[in-house]
């Protein structure tokens, strides 16, 4: 069922990672992603991988759940790897076997490099959302972007839109599930036939879904107006964030990792 | 007709959100029965019925429809099961999608691969069943009122002419008149076609007035499955589960407590009337 997708989900908890300031988590995730792209060789991945291991241990979320979330992305990962193998240069790996001549050392190395990079990328960003509730995440984003208000960027509105969008993902997934089941009960078939038939089979799902999304949007707008929402001007916060020892510890760790990677790049 | 063996279902298995929806359900529903399924919100009613037409796959256990084990059969059998066991979900009006009422009701029969004249006949019959005007057939279902939409959606399942009809809170959110009408039409359908009907509800009143037997769900388990009088004999257990007994039953329980010789198994107003008439004929005195 679509409910089982764990990508982007939040798992409530009380771990080290959960207790970190979401602003710091956001910044560090950014650094993490950058460091992944700086990594020059597999030693670099070993360092980032060690950091990832720490994150996994200190988040209290079992790797099993996360790996299940990776499953739907397996296709993209393998697809990327496949093309990296095809376009790699260098010497053939098995020169004595003729039909394997396309399998070249550099291609295989590139492919493996890509697989590790993508997996670490997904893991790192997943753990951000696993340990940070959507509301905290957008809250942190709004605060980090606040300086851009000077350039007339509607930071609060953007953050609010994002909060609402994130808030309604599970609701809409639930709704989709229900509609799929209701149409299945009337004998709708989404699994057989060619691509055109399958695309057409989606109409009985998409139309009710769209209609209910509009209905919800209207209801939400009414509910917000009833509670006197009028944008970000003069709005105060229920939760005030401050950096604590966890955040500085994590920052120090991240800086160490980036430093190590830069050293690897130089030597 | 419908049989389950140790049927269990977990949601989000293997994640921190894992919850047991239903657990170890063993029931047997004979052909032609009218079963009321009651239970609290979250007691597993809806999960249970979604197993009966192969929409949900059990985490463990088996389901037999007409003696056929659903999940060891091939896919074709399961698709056929969806036509044999008609399932009307909660708020079915949210599934409407076609341009016209006619097209929407005929969605199911079309999926069955029926010829055009047969589809036409079935839409006609289904329309009669829910009591909708033929003038609405060419209208968009989205232009109708809430009650009319509900009827169109129910007609969409009725047009499958299922051998087993399952309705999940078909009357939720309707006004009392709309509710009585829908329930009485289901009762008529049951009488005329001798088909098996399951009515999911948390209104004891609706269930006791319509069903022959009652299945009580509590915290994912089937705690009672018996004839209506037998279930109401355990009225106190029901109250303990946070379920309400019909108001008329409560009146008669208090009458008995006051010492009047009335039957404790009164759960419809008609029965109540008969009981009271009997009592009055006897002189209407309380035993001391």
Tell me if residue B23 falls in helix, strand or coil. Answer: strand
Task: For residue range B51-98, list pLDDT tens digits in order.
Answer: 998 888 899 999 998 888 888 888 888 888 889 999 999 999 888 989
Residue B47 has pLDDT above 50, yes or no: yes
Residue scoring higher pLDDT (A197 or A223): A223
Write down the pLDDT at residue B101: 93
Residue B45 pLDDT exceeds 80: yes
**pLDDT at residue B164, as a whole number:** 93
Q: Tens of pLDDT along B181-212?
A: 889 989 988 998 889 999 998 788 888 888 99
Quick one: pLDDT at residue B28?
92
How far B98 CA lies from chain A's nearest CA (Å)?
A: 8
Residue A28, min C-alpha distance to chain B (Å): 25
Q: Spell out the residues 6+ positions from residue A121 whose beta carbon is closer than 8 angstroms to its own.
A: A33, A36
B94 touches chain A (CB under 8 A): yes
d(CA B154, CA A180): 16
Mutate to test the interface with A, among B11, B12, B15 (most CBs of A within 10 A): B15
What are the tens digits of pLDDT across the range A117-152? 888 888 888 888 888 888 888 888 888 888 888 888
Query: Backbone phi, then psi, for B214, in 5-degree steps?
Result: -130, 140
pLDDT for the residue A6: 54
Per-residue confidence (pLDDT) for residue B33, from 0 to 100: 93
Name the residue in chain B with its Cα closest to that of A207: B97
Please choose, from the candidates B6, B41, B60, B46, the residue with its C-alpha nearest in 3D space to the C-alpha of residue B166. Answer: B46
The percent of residues above 70 in pLDDT, for chain B, comes to: 97
Q: What is the mean pLDDT of residues B27-47?
A: 90
* Arithmetic mean of pLDDT over chain B: 87
For the domain B2-245, what is the CATH code?
3.40.50.300
Query: What ranges do the domains of chain B cover?
Result: 2-245, 246-288
> Which one is predicted more confidently, A98 or A1?
A98
According to the per-residue pLDDT averaged within each range, which of A206-220, B235-249, B273-287 is highest? A206-220
- Chain B: give the shortest CA distance to residue A180, in Å: 9
pLDDT one-digit tens code per residue, A46-94: 888 888 888 888 888 877 777 777 777 888 888 888 888 877 766 776 7
Q: What is the DSSP letter of B29?
A: E
> What pLDDT does B126 receive?
92
Q: Is the pLDDT of residue A1 over 50?
A: no
The answer to whether A187 contacts B79, with C-beta atoms less than 8 Å apart, is yes
Q: Is the pLDDT of residue A105 over 80?
A: no
Asked if the Cβ–Cβ distance from B15 to A181 is below 8 Å, we say: no
Predicted confidence at residue A93, as pLDDT, reads 67
| Contacts with B, A 196-215, CB within 8 Å | 203-204, 207-208, 211-212
Task: List, in sequence order, the alpha helices (H) in chain B.
Answer: 45-52, 75-84, 101-105, 107-112, 116-130, 146-158, 176-193, 204-210, 228-232, 235-240, 247-257, 269-281
Which tens digits make up the pLDDT trace of A145-188? 888 888 888 888 888 888 888 788 878 888 898 899 999 899 88
Burial class (CB in 10 A: 0-12, 13-18, 19+), B251: middle
- The answer on pLDDT for A4 being more than 70 is no
What was the ipTM of the complex prediction?
0.84
User: What is the token pair recorded at B79?
Assistant: 């698709």
Residue whose pair of structure tokens reads 């990594």 in the numeric block: A39
Domain boundaries along the sequence of chain A: 1-132+240-267, 151-236
- Which tokens belong to B251? 């009146």
Tell me the pTM: 0.74
pLDDT of amino acid A68: 75
| Interface contact B14-A181, CB threshold 8 A | no
**What whole-number percentage of chain A has pLDDT above 70?**
91
> Looking at residues A96-103, what average pLDDT do you find?
68
What does the pLDDT read at residue B203? 81
Residue of A178, A186, A211 with shortest CB distance to B156: A186
**Residue A22 token pair:** 């979401």
- Residue A6 in contact with partner chain B when CB distance is under 8 A: yes
* pLDDT at position A26 over 80: yes
pLDDT in the model for residue A101: 66
Whole-number pLDDT of residue A39: 84
Q: Is B82 on the interface with A (CB under 8 A)?
A: yes
């Amino acid at each position: 069922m679509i409910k089982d997708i764990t990508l982007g989900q939040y798992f409530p908890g009380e771990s080290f990672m959960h207790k970190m300031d979401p602003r710091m988590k956001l910044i560090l995730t950014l650094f993490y992603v950058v460091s992944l792209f700086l990594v020059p060789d597999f030693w670099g991945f070993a360092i980032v991988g060690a950091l990832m291991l720490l994150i996994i241990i200190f988040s209290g979320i079992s790797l099993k759940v996360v790996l299940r979330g990776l499953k739907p992305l397996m296709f993209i990962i393998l697809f990327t790897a496949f093309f990296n193998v095809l376009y790699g240069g260098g010497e053939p790996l098995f020169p004595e076997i003729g039909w394997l001549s396309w399998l070249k050392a550099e291609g295989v190395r590139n492919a493996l490099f890509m697989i590790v990079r993508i997996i670490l990328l997904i893991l790192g960003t997943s753990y951000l959302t696993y340990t940070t509730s959507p509301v905290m995440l957008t809250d942190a984003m709004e605060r980090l972007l606040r300086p851009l208000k000077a350039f007339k960027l509607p930071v609060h509105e953007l953050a609010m839109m994002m909060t609402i969008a994130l808030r309604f993902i599970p609701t809409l997934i639930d709704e989709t599930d229900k509609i799929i089941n209701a149409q299945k009960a009337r004998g709708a078939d989404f699994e057989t036939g060619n691509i055109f038939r399958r695309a057409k089979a989606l109409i009985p799902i998409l139309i009710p879904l769209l209609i209910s999304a509009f209905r919800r949007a209207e209801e939400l707008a009414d509910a917000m107006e009833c509670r006197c929402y009028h944008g970000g001007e003069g709005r105060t916060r229920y939760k005030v964030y401050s950096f604590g020892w966890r955040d500085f510890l994590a920052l120090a760790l991240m800086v160490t990792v980036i430093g190590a990677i830069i050293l690897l790049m130089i030597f | 007709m419908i049989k389950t063996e140790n049927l269990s279902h977990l949601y989000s298995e293997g994640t921190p959100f894992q919850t047991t929806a239903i657990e170890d359900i063993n029931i047997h529903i004979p052909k032609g029965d009218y079963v009321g399924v009651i239970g609290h919100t979250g007691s597993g009613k809806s999960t249970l019925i979604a197993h009966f037409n192969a929409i949900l796959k059990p985490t463990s256990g088996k389901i037999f429809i007409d003696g056929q084990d659903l999940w060891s059969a091939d896919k074709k059998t399961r698709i056929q099961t969806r036509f044999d066991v008609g399932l009307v979900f909660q708020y079915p009006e949210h599934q409407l999608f076609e341009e016209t009422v006619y097209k929407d009701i005929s969605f199911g029969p079309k999926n069955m691969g029926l010829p055009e004249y047969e589809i036409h006949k079935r839409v006609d019959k289904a329309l009669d069943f829910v009591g909708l005007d033929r003038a609405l057939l060419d209208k968009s279902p989205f232009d109708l009122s809430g009650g009319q939409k509900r009827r169109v959606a129910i007609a969409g399942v009725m047009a499958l002419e299922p051998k087993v009809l399952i309705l999940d809170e078909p009357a939720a959110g309707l006004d009392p008149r709309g509710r009585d009408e829908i329930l009485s039409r289901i009762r008529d359908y049951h009488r005329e076609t001798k088909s098996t009907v399951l009515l999911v509800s948390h209104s004891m009143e609706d269930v006791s007035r319509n069903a022959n037997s009652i299945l009580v769900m509590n915290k994912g388990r089937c705690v009672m499955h018996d004839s209506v009088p037998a279930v109401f004999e355990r009225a106190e257990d029901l109250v303990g589960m946070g379920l309400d007994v019909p108001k008329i039953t409560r009146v008669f329980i208090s009458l008995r407590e006051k010492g009047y010789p009335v039957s404790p198994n009164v759960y419809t107003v008609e029965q109540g009337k008969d009981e009271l008439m009997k009592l009055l004929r006897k002189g209407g005195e309380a035993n001391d």
